[in-house]
Chains A and B, each alone.
Chain A
């Protein structure tokens, strides 16, 4: 099983609706990253969380890290076509140099 579980694997949402993507670990997360990827392209940084209970927002995207630092959620409000893509979470689980990555959530926005 993966160390970092991301759900759902894919999501189809009507434009204008809200949605949530989750990233869960059985271990403590020392840092949690959210990235967005368009098909066939590199990853674009969205947000990084480090403290338990931390919440950050950028435009219509909000990311939270729970108090136990084992789960993070990414919430998009009033989704738009520009939000379509694959969202990946990555985590520092105590390694000095490497991040562990979730499998990604493919988001499709229906007009």
Chain B
């Protein structure tokens, strides 16, 4: 069956520290992968998406980067976290537009 794993669930990091959030997908091949950030009372803001290994598209200029080292692995990173990076981060995958999008359980990041 198709599943998506995202970890960690919660993270508290000091300002200026690095970040690595990982997302892996099982049960499918060549998915489109997405990183979203969700602010309280707001919709999902698309940060990055990837249509294949090594292919990353950035939607919002920011302090974050993404990588896709393997077909079903998507990593969100930062070299130096800012307070404004705090938020709820969601990983998702879908095969094609107008098919179901599957979401991970999310990571609550607090930068202190």
B101 and A98 contact, CB distance less than 8 A: no
Residues of B within 8 A of A6 (CB): 43
Q: How far is the CA of A78 from the CA of B100 in the complex (A)?
A: 27
Query: B98 contacts the other chain (Cβ, under 8 Å)?
Result: yes
Q: Which of A41-63 contact B (CB under 8 A)?
A: 41-45, 48, 50
B97 and A48 contact, CB distance less than 8 A: no
Given contact pairs A2-B43, A43-B90, A104-B41, A99 touches B101 in the complex (Cβ within 8 A) = yes
Interface size counted on chain A using CB atoms at 8 A: 29
B90 and A102 contact, CB distance less than 8 A: no
Query: B7 contacts the other chain (Cβ, under 8 Å)?
Result: no
Chain A residues near B (Cβ < 8 Å): 2, 4, 6, 9, 30-31, 33, 35, 40-45, 48, 50, 88, 90, 92, 95-99, 101-104, 106
Q: Could you write out 8 A-B pairs with CB less than 8 Å apart?
A: A30-B98, A42-B6, A43-B103, A97-B51, A97-B97, A103-B43, A104-B41, A106-B41
